[in-house]
């Protein structure tokens, strides 16, 4: 059933404050971070609406019993359709495995709910297009969970690039490594099947890297790449039986952006010793910027000024502080750092602002389709062993 999406028409509480009623789908890693963002967002950004946690879906009865009361959801269910089709819910957080995003998003859109969906958007370009069409046809706002581009550091870097501080971009070198799959006995999961995850490290982690490259430097033009599955079998989590791995463990790519700048990118979940090494170096005609998510409260900036001596010039360290918005919403003291969950609150803030002001979300499903197309081009380039246009 279609709902009236205008917040002005929602009922008020006794203080005259409107409300947004939230359904969270999936209470794993991301379900927890979305729910924390929903519960903290109003106080951080002074949203002019109350947030009500209406319903939680999870596959596990134990999780429903634990997390319903823990976060204060009004009800829990093991049927996601009850949340997506509910008439008393305004927005949903889709925090389930990649293969489940499409059906949930389509049903939520058709019943008039705004959608905050985790990345990658879908397991195929076809599904991503269906999601775009459903959101457009029903006029709902959509936001994808590319949280790393919401950190105060990244927002500051983006502004420096836009202000021309490093000149015209000539190169993006991205690397993203984590070590959670290094051990060959790490269990098989939905992430390792084409149907469940779609792509492996490329979709799971590379989606963050590729989206960040596009956000910072513009659309990709062409790519050559190689995907590789190092550990071809992994044990089933319950039976221990060895199962085939269908997706990649790592990829490397080279290519160009439409503006002519070059890129090199490498992503791996076999990156020994790395916990969250989503990093890059953007080089321009007048300077360069280096960033590593493992040190998310700082970045390195080099500005060519033509005056400093070669023996002393080099990168300087910039610590993030309240002048790098929205750091100050969390903490008044520079260098004291914000963390992963704060990025999710900033993402929720952008989403809520777009709902309340009828504004744009970045990245929405339409932009997500561009990211998915770039990921597909990287995979295609590896399969055909040739340059592919994006």
Rounded to a whole number of angstroms, the minimum distance from the CB of residue 50 to ligand NAD is 26
Per-residue interface string for the shown chain with ligand NAD, residues 20-49, x marking contact by CB under 6 A: ------xxxxxx------------------
Rounded to a whole number of angstroms, the minimum distance from the CB of residue 35 to ligand NAD is 11
Contact criterion met (CB below 8 Å) for 389 and 374 = no
Rounded to a whole number of angstroms, the minimum distance from the CB of residue 31 to ligand NAD is 5
Judged by beta carbon, residue 30 or residue 49, the one nearer ligand NAD is 30
Stretch that binds ligand NAD, among 92-100, 219-227, 300-308, 318-326 (CB under 6 A): 92-100
Contact criterion met (CB below 8 Å) for 39 and 12 = no
Beta strands in the chain (DSSP E): 18-25, 49-57, 75-77, 91-94, 114-117, 142-144, 169-177, 220-228, 233-235, 242-244, 250-257, 262-268, 277-284, 287-292, 298-303, 316-319, 388-389
Q: Is the omega angle on the peptide bond into residue 262 within 30 degrees of 0, that is, cis? A: no
Stretch that binds ligand NAD, among 45-53, 56-64, 154-162, 303-311 (CB under 6 A): 56-64
Contact criterion met (CB below 8 Å) for 334 and 320 = yes
Determine which residue in the list 43, 60, 259, 325 makes contact with ligand NAD, applying CB under 6 A: 60
DSSP element (H, E) containing 199: none
Judged by beta carbon, residue 49 or residue 378, the one nearer ligand NAD is 378
Stretch that binds ligand NAD, among 58-66, 69-77, 176-184, 228-236 (CB under 6 A): 58-66
Rounded to a whole number of angstroms, the minimum distance from the CB of residue 256 to ligand NAD is 27
# binding residues, ligand NAD (CB under 6 A): 20
The answer to the question of residue 323 lying near ligand NAD (CB under 6 A) is no
Binding to ligand NAD, residues 181-220 (CB under 6 A): 204
Instruction: Give the residue from 93, 119, 69 showing the smallest Cα distance to 20.
Output: 93
Binding to ligand NAD, residues 282-301 (CB under 6 A): none
Judged by beta carbon, residue 54 or residue 94, the one nearer ligand NAD is 94
Q: Which two tokens stand for residue 47?
A: 């949203």
Number of helices followed by number of strands (H, E) in the chain: 11, 17
CA distance 301 to 359: 32
Q: How far is CA 29 from the centre of its chain?
A: 13
Strand partners, 20: 51
Judged by beta carbon, residue 204 or residue 350, the one nearer ligand NAD is 204
**Closest residue (Cβ) to ligand NAD?**
28
The answer to the question of residue 147 lying near ligand NAD (CB under 6 A) is yes
Stretch that binds ligand NAD, among 94-102, 159-167, 253-261, 296-304 (CB under 6 A): 94-102
The answer to the question of residue 95 lying near ligand NAD (CB under 6 A) is yes
Judged by beta carbon, residue 189 or residue 373, the one nearer ligand NAD is 189
The answer to the question of residue 98 lying near ligand NAD (CB under 6 A) is yes
Judged by beta carbon, residue 97 or residue 200, the one nearer ligand NAD is 97
The answer to the question of residue 167 lying near ligand NAD (CB under 6 A) is no
Q: Is the omega angle on the peptide bond into residue 120 within 30 degrees of 0, that is, cis? A: yes
Mapped onto helix, strand or coil, the DSSP state of residue 86 is: coil
CA distance 176 to 245: 21
| φ, ψ at 139 (rounded to 5°) | 65, 35
Strand partners, 317: 300
Rounded to a whole number of angstroms, the minimum distance from the CB of residue 113 to ligand NAD is 17
Determine which residue in the list 41, 68, 97, 349 makes contact with ligand NAD, applying CB under 6 A: 97
Judged by beta carbon, residue 195 or residue 316, the one nearer ligand NAD is 195
CA distance 204 to 261: 25
Rounded to a whole number of angstroms, the minimum distance from the CB of residue 379 to ligand NAD is 16
Contact criterion met (CB below 8 Å) for 147 and 350 = no
| φ, ψ at 362 (rounded to 5°) | -130, 125
The answer to the question of residue 145 lying near ligand NAD (CB under 6 A) is yes
Binding to ligand NAD, residues 345-364 (CB under 6 A): none
Residues at the interface with ligand NAD (CB under 6 A): 26-31, 58-60, 80, 95-98, 100, 118-119, 145, 147, 204
């Amino acid at each position: 059933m279609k709902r009236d999406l205008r917040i002005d028409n929602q009922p008020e509480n006794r203080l005259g404050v409107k409300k947004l009623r939230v359904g969270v789908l999936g209470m794993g890693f991301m379900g927890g971070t979305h729910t924390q963002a929903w519960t903290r967002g109003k106080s951080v950004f002074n949203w002019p609406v109350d947030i009500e946690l209406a319903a939680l879906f999870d596959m596990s009865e134990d999780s429903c019993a634990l997390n319903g009361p823990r976060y204060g959801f009004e009800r829990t269910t093991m049927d996601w359709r009850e949340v997506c089709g509910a008439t008393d819910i305004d927005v949903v957080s889709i925090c389930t495995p990649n293969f489940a995003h499409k059906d949930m998003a389509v049903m939520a859109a058709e019943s008039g709910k705004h959608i905050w969906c985790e990345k990658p958007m879908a397991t195929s370009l076809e599904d991503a297009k269906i999601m775009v069409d459903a959101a457009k046809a029903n006029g709902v706002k959509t936001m994808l969970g590319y949280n790393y581009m919401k950190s105060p550091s990244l927002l500051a870097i983006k502004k420096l690039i836009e202000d021309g501080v490093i000149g015209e971009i000539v190169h993006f070198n991205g690397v993203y490594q984590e070590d959670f799959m290094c051990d060959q006995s790490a269990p098989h999961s939905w992430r390792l099947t084409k149907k469940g995850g779609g792509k492996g490290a490329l979709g799971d982690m590379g989606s963050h890297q590729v989206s960040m490259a596009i956000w910072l430097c513009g659309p990709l033009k062409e790519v050559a790449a190689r995907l590789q599955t190092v550990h071809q079998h992994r044990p089933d989590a319950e039976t221990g039986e060895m199962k085939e791995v269908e997706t990649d463990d790592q990829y490397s790519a080279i290519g160009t952006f439409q503006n002519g700048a070059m890129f090199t990118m490498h992503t791996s979940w076999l990156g020994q010793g790395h916990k969250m090494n989503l990093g890059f170096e953007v080089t321009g005609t007048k300077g360069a910027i280096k960033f590593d998510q493992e040190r998310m409260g700082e970045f390195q900036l080099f500005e060519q000024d033509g005056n400093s001596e070669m023996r002393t010039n080099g990168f300087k360290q910039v610590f993030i502080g309240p002048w790098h918005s929205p750091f100050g919403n969390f903490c008044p003291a520079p260098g004291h750092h914000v963390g992963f969950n704060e990025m999710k609150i900033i993402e929720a803030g952008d989403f809520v602002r777009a709902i309340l002001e009828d504004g744009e979300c970045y990245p929405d499903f339409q932009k997500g389709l561009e990211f998915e197309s770039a990921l597909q081009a990287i995979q295609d380039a590896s399969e055909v062993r040739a340059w592919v246009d994006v």
